[in-house]
């Protein structure tokens, strides 16, 4: 009865470990963390002293990248281990087919020996820390019929690996290969999306420069560069927040506040008393929409500083952001010089406001209004955007 209970407990522990590993793969965002979890949980559930994972990699490389994995690579690189020398992870390698682990990968077969050093296939790697281990089992890692590496478990005391242990380790190794395959797809998708965004942003900047070249108003090279710098910094602010958050959405209020700091430090004379305040609701937007909103906010703030506050020693600019379930409302208001007499929003918009109007009405399907501020003789711009 006790023996049966022990067997059930052992099976339950194995199932729990497999569930943990499966969950980690399903939620995996980082290959190193996933492989580390697999080796740790395998060591625990199989009651071994070490579990290691090797991946094929081109010779001469100094950094492990998923895109570089080659089924026909000429060496196996150690990428995760619980028992070998941690400082050698990413550096320790086995020539193709060398050692019991290399043989398992090269021949697509399981190797299980109780005395590894006595086997003619044994290959010792100096500095690996494996000399204290006696028994070893190695299995190939196979993804879409291609061998991408190998995994092994080792024990300090002599151990005869059972059929049950071989089956369990084979299943765990299949999960490890799945994790590597998934992270390869994720990595590829991230790189493609990153290049796509960079291309789009560069094309946007190029379009803005062409518009600036075509306008009748003559600006100094300094003014053109300053406006372009602010537009580039607005886009950079979006990606700065995205890189900090690690997600593909960002809060609008945080974005606007950072833009204000960036633009005001580049445009506001420290000797003046120009106050810029930001208030309202926060809402998270996808990166593409946030980038468009950042450019719009940049143009409106630049316009308020260049025209509304031109020649003034003090003044106030307020930016208010509100939203409900369907709409985002952005208002930029200043108490500055106001609109020129006879101003016609259909024909008298400058380049910056032209960009805003086109972005809002054509690209984002919103509305754009400009007029005299309700509480002063300054200017007020109201923008309404659909959330979806």
Q: What is the CATH number of the domain that holds 279?
A: 3.30.565.10
When mean pLDDT is compared over 2-6, 132-136, 284-288, 290-294, the highest value belongs to 132-136
Whole-structure pTM value: 0.50
Give the lowest-confidence range in 66-70, 72-76, 92-96, 346-350.
66-70
377 and 295 share one domain: yes
User: Residue range 160-182: average pLDDT?
Assistant: 83
Give CA angle at 43 (151, 73), nearest 5°. 15
134 and 280 share one domain: no
- Give the per-residue pLDDT at 68: 42
- Return mean pLDDT, the chain: 79
179 and 238 share one domain: no
**193 pLDDT exceeds 70?**
no
172 and 264 share one domain: no
Q: Which residues pair with 368 in a beta bridge?
A: 383
Residue 379 lies in a domain: yes
Residue 202 lies in a domain: no
Q: What CA–CA distance (Å, rounded) separates 43 from 165?
A: 12
User: Residue range 43-64: average pLDDT?
Assistant: 73
Q: Give 327-364 pLDDT, tens digit per residue.
A: 889 899 998 888 888 887 777 777 677 777 877 887 78
171 and 249 share one domain: no
Backbone angles phi, psi at 77, to 5 degrees: -100, 135
Could you give the percent of the chain with pLDDT greater than 90?
Answer: 19
Give the lowest-confidence range in 132-136, 182-186, 315-319.
182-186
Give the lowest-confidence range in 156-160, 162-166, 212-216.
212-216
- Give the per-residue pLDDT at 65: 40
**103 pLDDT exceeds 80?**
yes
CATH, residue 179: 3.30.450.40
Residue 199 lies in a domain: no
**28 pLDDT exceeds 60?**
no
Q: What CA–CA distance (Å, rounded) separates 193 from 67?
A: 16
- Give the per-residue pLDDT at 290: 80
Give the side-chain half-sphere CA count within 13 A for 264.
18
User: Residue range 216-229: average pLDDT?
Assistant: 66
Six-digit token string for 149: 């590496």
* pLDDT-based confidence at residue 219 (cuts at 50, 70, 90): low
- Give the per-residue pLDDT at 270: 83
37 and 171 share one domain: yes
SS3 of the chain: the string is CHHHHHHHHHHHHHHHHHHHHHHHHHCCCCHHHHHHHHHHHHHHHCCCCEEEEEEEECCCCCCCCHHHCCCCCCEEEEEEECCCCHHHCCCCEEECCCHHHHHHHHHCCCEEECCHHHCCCCCCCCCCCHHHCCEEEEEEEEECCEEEEEEEEEECCCCCCCHHHHHHHHHHHHHHHHHHHHHHHHHHHHHHHHHHHHHHHHHHHHHHHHHHHHCCCCCCHHHHHHHHHHHHHHHHHHHHHHHHHCCCEEEHHHHHHHHHHHHHHHHCCCCCEEEEEEEECCCEEEHHHHHHHHHHHHHHHHHHHHHHCCCCCEEEEEEEEEECCCEEEEEEEECCCCCCCCCCCCCCCCHHHHHHHHHHHHHCCCEEEEEECCCCCCEEEEEEEECC
- Give the per-residue pLDDT at 74: 73
Q: End of a domain among 183, 202, 227?
A: 183
Residue 193 lies in a domain: no
* pLDDT-based confidence at residue 150 (cuts at 50, 70, 90): very high
**43 pLDDT exceeds 50?**
yes
131 and 232 share one domain: no
List CB contacts of 203: < 8 A, sequence separation 6 or more.
none
Residue 194 lies in a domain: no
231 and 149 share one domain: no
User: How many domains does the chain contain in total?
Assistant: 2
Residue of 136 and 301 predicted with greater confidence: 136
Residue-range definition of the domain harbouring residue 349: 219-386
Residue 129 lies in a domain: yes
35 and 130 share one domain: yes
Residue 293 lies in a domain: yes
């Amino acid at each position: 009865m006790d023996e049966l209970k022990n067997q059930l407990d052992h099976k339950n522990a194995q199932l729990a470990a497999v569930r943990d590993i499966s969950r980690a793969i399903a939620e995996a965002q980082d290959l190193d963390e996933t492989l580390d979890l697999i080796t740790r949980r395998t060591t625990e559930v199989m009651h071994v002293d070490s579990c290691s994972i090797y991946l094929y990699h081109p010779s001469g490389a100094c950094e492990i990248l998923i895109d570089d994995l080659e089924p026909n690579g000429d060496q196996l690189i150690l990428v995760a281990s619980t028992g070998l020398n941690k400082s050698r992870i990413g550096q320790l390698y086995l020539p193709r087919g060398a050692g019991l682990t290399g043989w398992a990968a090269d021949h697509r077969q399981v190797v299980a020996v109780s005395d590894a050093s006595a086997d003619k296939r044994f290959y010792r790697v100096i500095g690996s820390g494996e000399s204290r281990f006696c028994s070893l089992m190695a299995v190939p890692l196979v993804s879409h019929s291609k061998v991408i590496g190998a995994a092994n478990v080792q024990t300090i005391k002599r151990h005869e690996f059972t059929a049950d242990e071989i089956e369990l380790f084979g299943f765990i190794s299949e999960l490890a290969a799945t994790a590597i395959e998934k992270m390869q797809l994720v990595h590829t998708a991230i790189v493609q999306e990153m290049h796509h965004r960079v291309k789009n942003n560069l094309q946007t900047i190029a379009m803005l420069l062409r518009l600036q070249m075509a306008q009748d108003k003559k600006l100094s090279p300094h003014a053109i560069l300053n406006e372009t710098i602010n537009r580039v910094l607005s886009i950079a602010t979006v990606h700065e927040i995205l890189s900090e958050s690690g997600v593909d959405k960002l809060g609008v209020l945080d974005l606007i506040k950072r833009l204000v700091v960036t633009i005001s430090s580049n445009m506001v004379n420290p000797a003046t008393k120009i106050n810029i305040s930001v208030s309202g609701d926060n809402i998270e937007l996808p990166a593409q929409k946030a980038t468009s909103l950042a450019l719009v906010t940049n143009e409106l703030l630049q316009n308020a500083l260049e025209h509304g506050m031109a020649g003034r020693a003090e003044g106030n600019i307020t930016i208010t952001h509100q939203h409900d379930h369907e709409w985002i409302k952005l208002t930029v208001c200043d108490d500055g010089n106001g609109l020129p007499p006879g101003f016609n929003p259909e024909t008298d918009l400058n380049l910056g406001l032209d960009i805003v109007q086109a972005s809002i009405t054509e690209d984002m399907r919103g509305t754009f209004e400009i007029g005299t501020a309700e509480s002063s003789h300054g200017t007020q711009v109201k923008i309404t955007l659909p959330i979806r």
